[in-house]
Amino acid sequence: MFVVMGGTGHVGAACAAALLARGAAVTVVTRDARHAAALAARGAAVVEADATDVDALRAVFARGRRAFLLNPPADVADDTDVAERRTVATILAA
C-alpha cells in the first residue's frame, strides 16, 4: 500500500493516478475528501487528515509500506515558514 500525502494537488494526484494505473493499492491523504472523488472512483482509499495532527498521520501511515509525502502549502495569510516547519515536524513525528 502506498500512502500519498497531498494526493489531491497537482503533483500528488499525478503520483496517485500513476500508482493506480500500475495496479498499486493507494491511500490518498487529503484535507477534504470531496476533492479526491475521482481518485476514489479509480480505487484509491481516501483519508481526511490534518497535517498537524500527529496521531491522525500515524494512523494513516500505519496503513502503508511506502509513502509519497508532500508538505501541504501554508496559508499565505499566516507566517508560511512557521506553518510549513510545523507540518514538517508533524510528518516526521508521525
* 29-51 pLDDT tens trace: 999 999 999 999 999 999 999 99
Q: What domain range is 86 assigned to? A: 2-93
The distance of Cα 44 from the centroid of its chain, to the nearest Å, equals: 12
Structure confidence by residue, pLDDT tens digits, 47-74: 999 999 999 999 999 999 999 998 888 8
Domain count, the chain: 1
Say if CB 4 and CB 26 are below 8 A apart. Answer: yes
Cα–Cα distance between 46 and 21 in angstroms, integer? 16
Provide the angle, in degrees to the nearest 10, between the axes of the packed helices 54-61 and 80-93. 50
Q: What is the CATH number of the domain that holds 88?
A: 3.40.50.720
The three grid cell numbers given for residue 74, joined into one nine-digit string: 501554508
Structure confidence by residue, pLDDT tens digits, 17-30: 999 999 999 999 99
Tell me what pLDDT residue 52 has. 92
